[in-house]
A and B are shown apart, each in its own frame.
Chain A
Amino acid sequence: MKSDKLKFLLFAVVVLAIPLFIPKGYLTNVLIFVGINSMLALGLNLLLGYAGQISLGQAAFFGLGAYGSGVLNTQYVINPWLAMALVAVGVAAFAFAIGFPVLRLKGHYLAMATLGVGVIAYISFNETVDLTGGPSGLSGIENLSIGSFVFDSDIKNYYLVWSFALVSILLAMNMVNSRFGRGLRAIHDSEVAARVMGVNARLMKVQVFALSAFISAIAGSLYCHVMTFISPTSFSFPVSIELLTMVVIGGLGSVFGSVLGALLLTLLPEMLRAFQDMDIIVYGLLLISMTIYLPGGLVRGIPALFRKIVPARGSHA
């Protein structure tokens, strides 16, 4: 318990200090999106890594959050912070409602159903042109502000997004170590066994589904206010897949794994830029080889690799 708190504090200090040490400019901008992706990956990881329930439609909640805030901001007079809260609660309630039938399904059927939810949401963003602007997108969204302080620069947005990300991480860590978190892991291992032990598996699965939708919706609201423009393609099926990849590569069932996965996958296109058109191939190869050789994700894989290398050296000496 105590070491977890320490870890979090250390991480928070690093996050808050990073802008002081990196060159001003573009990198800060990318790190904003790392923050948003971290929240999304974390939301999915709660569902996938802890409760063992797959979702291929996570982009739907992200998009609902973004469009909810975006539409309220551009077409109605309502405080954007209040809007963010209302939208997040609304999206969570929606997830809660569809969670009951959806999470009754298992394995590939669950994957298919969540994928279906994602596709339907994506089509709705495209087709409700009067509200969302349709495929042309929604522009003119304002930056968030507190009084006269407007979050209009990269550095301000960095701290804005990462404060939310840090709070989500803290919440997730507390939840994982609570009675609720232990119940979830029991479901992950064997739902039937968990039920026998008196865990209300069905309700808990739906609750964690709603929680993950809640975090994703907040990330969506932040995204729309940072970008000030949104279009449906940012919430399509490939985005759900990318989130899934972040969680798996970072480390299932690890809070910091989500962050690491988000960091790697957001920076990856940058690192692969040297390969030009080859980047898609390298991306595919990475996915395959990491799943085969680092099944626990980076968070567990890297320490394991160290352990493998270090004693090996020792034995040769």
Chain B
Amino acid sequence: MKKLITVALVSFFVFCMASAAMAAAPIKIGALFSVTGPASFLGEPERNTAQMVVDEINRVGGIKGRKIELIAYDTGGDSTKAVQLANKLIKNDQVVAIIGPSTSGETMAVIPVVEKAQVPLISCAAAIKITEPVKPWVFKTAQNDSLAVARIYEQLKKERRTKIALLTVSDGFGASGREQLKAQASRYGIQIVADDTYGPKDTDMTAQLTKIRGVHPQAIICWGTNPGPAVIARNAKQLGINIPLYMSHGVSSKKFIELAGDAAEGIRLPTGKVLVADLLPKNDKQKKSLQSFIKDYQHHYRTEGDHFGGHAWDAVMLLRYAIERGGDNPAAIRKQLEATRNFAGIGGVFNYAARDHAGLTKDAFVLVEVKKKNWTLVK
């Protein structure tokens, strides 16, 4: 028994030593990303981007001569771990603000922690619940899924398609999208004739699509992240379904086209402007930010920067300007974040306000269609 206690104490001791905070000269910014686990497709580009932007800022001399130190932890997509690590960032690392988490579930879990500790959080997750109702210390850069839904519904209304079918993934992303799709339907005179779901790891969705085909909708909207939607695109092609198929912004990367192959042709989705940066008119406010992000990411990581990395780009930049204006105290950062106007980032043009901590309008989304294995703008 004594040995047992010794072992326990020794492991504590080692652990305390390892996590002891270092001297605080630079401005410390915390980050929580799900770099591993099921949401790694979000967390990995986000972490890469955040690190890249911080390095770039430090290269040109930091913020008013002070370097930024990014302390990024991997949550593995687990909300318990996210809460523990948020505590660690706040209490041990004593960061002035936190970027992330990557998923809506983790963000909701972390919110009580940051609200109590009064440290600003800029989430990279999409669910509308995060900033509605407004929580004083919580902001977000990922576009609300309600805006994506509005983009799709507008198009459907224009084409007079009123009977639609939903096929959403049964995780946080899909559930939040489904809620919005159902909530906004009546506003656009749209009737939902089928409402089906699939599991994130499912490998065949022909059963759901067959059922959907049976009720004769005029369009199908699928809400999920890779690889599910790619499977659905292929299944739809197999079943010979030829009504318009809409996806969510959750698949806005080249990966989707690669996975779905020929079946991707003609599929439409709302997405941030990263995918179509080159096609944007010269006077687009975001064009400069977009091109710099794409160029830097290509330079650092030798692959294309995507929509998701953009959330982290916006978060770091928003923090940078807030700190430049008001200093590095959490309360001042919060105040300055809220005062952000006309920041043209990757996700859109941000205008935060006391009653709006999401900051974007539906102009943040463009509707794109896959043609010849590439994105084109839908007019």
Contact = CB atoms under 8 A, between A and B. Distances in A.
A218 to B, nearest CB: 17
Given A229-B112, A233-B77, A267-B15, A260 B175 contact: no
Nearest to B87: A29
Contact of B79 (A11, A231, A303): A231
A10 B5 contact: yes
B105 A135 contact: yes
Contacts of A25: 87, 91-92
Given A129-B175, A134-B175, A136-B129, A267 B11 contact: yes
B81 interface: yes
Interface residues of B, number: 46
A157 B174 CA distance: 33
Majority-rule SS of B interface residues: helix
A229 B80 contact: no
Contacts, number: 120
B170 A127 contact: yes
Contacts of B170: 126-127, 134-135
Contacts of B12: 18, 22, 27
A234 B4 contact: no
Contacts of B36: 277, 280
B1 A30 contact: no
B7 A137 contact: no
B319 to A, nearest CB: 22
A24 B16 CA distance: 11
Interface residues on A, range: 35 or more
18 contacts: A24-B91, A25-B87, A26-B91, A26-B92, A29-B83, A127-B170, A129-B175, A136-B172, A136-B175, A137-B79, A137-B172, A227-B79, A233-B79, A234-B78, A263-B11, A264-B11, A271-B18, A302-B4
Given A29-B84, A229-B108, 20 more contacts: A11-B1, A11-B5, A22-B16, A26-B88, A26-B92, A136-B127, A136-B129, A136-B172, A139-B111, A139-B129, A152-B116, A227-B79, A233-B77, A233-B105, A256-B4, A260-B4, A260-B8, A267-B15, A277-B35, A302-B4
Interface of A: 7, 10-11, 14, 18, 22-27, 29-30, 33, 126-127, 129, 134-137, 139, 152, 154, 227-231, 233-234, 256, 260, 263-264, 267, 269-271, 273-274, 276-277, 280, 298-299, 302-303, 306
